[in-house]
Structure 1
Amino acid sequence: MGALHTYNVTVDWTGADEHGTSSYTSYSRDHEIRVEGKPTLLATSDLKVRTDVSRYRAEELFVGSISQSQMLWFLRTAAKAGVVVTGYVDHAQGTMRIESGGSGPFTEIVLRPRVSYGEAVSAEAAARLHREAREHNHVIRSLGFPVRVDPMTA
């Protein structure tokens, strides 16, 4: 068994007032996500009840973390293969099915990375790099739904 990594994150509900959660519509969903030594993320809920749309939502951060992890694995895989990547932009999209209770599971995430290379890379070689990165991506491997990678070359 390999080494264990621990990630410490503080989530602090900042939307409380003297009425607390006296009703579903009475309280703010605003909260902060903090990691020691890093900037605070201002966050809220995905629902439209007392939601500040300028703040990050857990669902957005979830999709972003999957995209981020795939990018980092791709860059690592390319570097190890001697392929120079000069740009990487992903327009990721997560789809969640809303069920009768107003919530539901993610059904799919599609990553659409646009990659620029220092020298020409064949479509087959690029596809192999994306596939290998996807296979090693520990975040994606932890999920119970599909994550599709549809790369584009810049």
Structure 2
Amino acid sequence: MKTRTHDYDVTLTWTGNHGAGTSAYNTYGREHEVSTAGTPTILGSADPAFRGDPTRWNPEQLQVAALSQCHMLWYLNLAAEAGVVVTAYEDNAHGVMAQDSRGAGQFESVTLRPRVTIAADSDPDVAERLHSKVPEVCFIARSVNFPVHHEPTIVVVPRGTPAGP
């Protein structure tokens, strides 16, 4: 099988120089912008625990979001292939990061909690089982070195209910 590669270019621009640069830990801001051609800029910062701006995305939130997005996109693909008609999907994902005494940290785990609504004619057991197949193919989940747990909830739309918004 031929291997294909995909390239992803992102520009990160630090915007937190408040006049003194990094002359001391508390003199500079953690604000930055993440951009790429053709998409809206993401306003980023550090986690508020590390002097970051709580109104901006931090890298840890983006890591959890990337896992949640990848899981959803692969799940929808697998559902379509399996004949499961998904009419709504929402995930309340949660990540846990631990810091050691030096201040270094790493994720211990991420738990995805997708609430998936399926059409009345779809099999809820198949819909639930598909979540366990996603980690085999999700690019982001296959790239992390910590466990990603899944706690799905499957809701079946009663017959006669409109399928979408």
Aligning the two structures, in what range does the TM-score lie when normalised by the shorter sequence?
over 0.9
Q: Distance in 2 between matches of 1:97 and 1:127?
A: 30
Task: Give the superposition deviation at 1:132.
Answer: 1.5
CA RMSD of aligned residues (A): 1.4
Residue matched to 2:17: 16
SS of alignment partner, residue 138 of structure 1: coil
Residue matched to 2:35: 34
2:16–2:31 CA contact under 8 A, matched in 1: yes
SS of alignment partner, residue 25 of structure 1: coil
SS of alignment partner, residue 7 of structure 1: coil
Percent identical:
42
Alignment of 1:128-139 (within 5 A): 128-139=129-140
**Residue correspondences, number:** 154
SS of alignment partner, residue 95 of structure 1: strand
Q: Normalising by structure 1, report the TM-score.
A: 0.94
CA gap of 1:60–1:114, structure 2 versus 1, over 3 A, is same
Residue matched to 2:76: 75
Residue matched to 2:47: 46
Q: Normalising by structure 2, report the TM-score.
A: 0.88
Which runs of 5 or more structure 1 residues have no equivalent in the other structure? none
Which runs of 5 or more structure 2 residues have no equivalent in the other structure? 156-165
Instruction: Please tell me whether residue 112 in structure 1 is matched to residue 113 in structure 2.
Output: yes
**Which range moves more in the overlay, 27-36 or 16-25?**
16-25
Q: Distance in 2 between matches of 1:48 and 1:76?
A: 37
